[in-house]
Amino acid sequence: MTKFARITVDPARMGGVPCIRGLRIPVATVVGLVAEGMTEAEILAAYPDLEGPDIREALQFAAEAVGERELPLAIP
């Protein structure tokens, strides 16, 4: 079993960006909704094809992806 069973990457779909379970819902969209302050219930209402575990795995995927690279930060 793969580490991220709910995340799919298909070059023929959505330009190959990581999506949730082959749906046309990018991981970045889900993570962005969480970052904007939407609750899990609000996200699930807005995207009925999603499931709670999809949101959690999207966040785990994003955390691991960020850990793999150095990102520039603005210095105050």
Residue 19, helix vs strand vs coil: strand
Which residues are 8's β-sheet partners? 19
Domains of the chain (ranges; CATH) run: 7-65 (1.10.10.10)
Is pTM beyond 0.95 here? no
Question: Whole-angstrom Cα distance, residue 47 to residue 33?
Answer: 11
pLDDT digits (tens, 9 = 90+) for 26-67: 999 999 999 999 999 999 999 999 999 999 999 999 999 888
